[in-house]
Amino acid sequence: MGGDFAPASEVAGMIECLRQCDNRFHVVLVGDETKINNELSKHNAAGLDFSIVHAPDIIDMHDSPVIAIKTKPNSSLVKGMNIHKDGSADAFVSAGNTGAVTAASTLILGRIPGVSRPTVAAIFPSESGPTLIVDAGAVSDCRPQFLFEFGVMGSIYSEYMLKKNYPRVGLLNIGEEESKGNELAKETFKYISERKGKFNFIGNIEGRDILKGNVDVVVCDGFVGNVILKFAESIPGYLKYQFKKFANTGIIPKLMIGLLRGSLKEIFRDMDYTEFGGIPLLGVNGVTIIGHGSSPPKAIRNMLFRAEETVQFKINQHIQEKLQEQQ
- Which of 78-82, 186-190, 291-295, 307-311 shows the lowest per-residue confidence on average (mean pLDDT)? 291-295
Q: State the pTM of this model.
A: 0.91
Q: Are 76 and 104 in contact (CB under 8 A)?
A: no
Check whether 268 has a pLDDT greater than 90: no
Mean local confidence (pLDDT), 132-153: 95
* pLDDT band at 2; cut points 50, 70, 90: confident
pLDDT digits (tens, 9 = 90+) for 35-59: 999 999 999 999 999 999 999 998 8
Q: In which band, very low, low, confident or very high, does the pLDDT at 326 lie, cut at 50, 70 and 90?
A: low
Per-residue pLDDT reduced to its tens digit, 240-265: 999 999 999 999 989 998 988 888 78
Q: What pLDDT digit, counting tens, does each position of 20-37 carry? A: 999 999 999 999 999 999
What is the pLDDT at residue 63? 79
Band of pLDDT at residue 318, cut at 50, 70 and 90: very high
Report whether pLDDT(225) > 80. yes
What's residue 253's pLDDT? Answer: 87
Q: pLDDT at position 175, please?
A: 94
pLDDT beyond 90 at 211: yes
- pLDDT attached to residue 192: 94
Confidence at residue 271, expressed as pLDDT on a 0 to 100 scale: 75
Give residue 158's pLDDT.
97
What is the structure's pLDDT at 66? 84
Whole-number mean pLDDT of the chain? 93
pLDDT digits (tens, 9 = 90+) for 86-118: 999 999 999 988 888 999 999 999 999 999 999
Residue 327 pLDDT exceeds 70: no
For residue 198, give the 3-state DSSP assignment.
Answer: coil
**CB neighbour list of residue 277: distance below 8 Å, 6 or more residues apart:** 289, 291, 295, 298, 299, 300, 301, 302, 303, 304, 305, 306
314 torsion bin: left (phi>0), alpha (psi -120 to 50), beta (else): left
Please state, in angstroms and rounded to a whole number, the distance separating the CA atoms of residues 79 and 103.
14
> What CA–CA distances, in Å, run from 99 to 75, 147, 294?
15, 20, 16
Name the percent of the chain lying above pLDDT 70. 99
pLDDT of residue 208: 95
Mean local confidence (pLDDT), 223-228 = 95
Mean pLDDT of 142-164: 96
Q: Which domains does the chain have, with CATH numbers?
A: 1-113+283-296 (3.40.718.10), 116-280 (3.40.718.10)
Helix axes 33-40, 8-21, angle to 10 degrees: 60
Q: What per-residue confidence (pLDDT) applies to 51?
A: 97
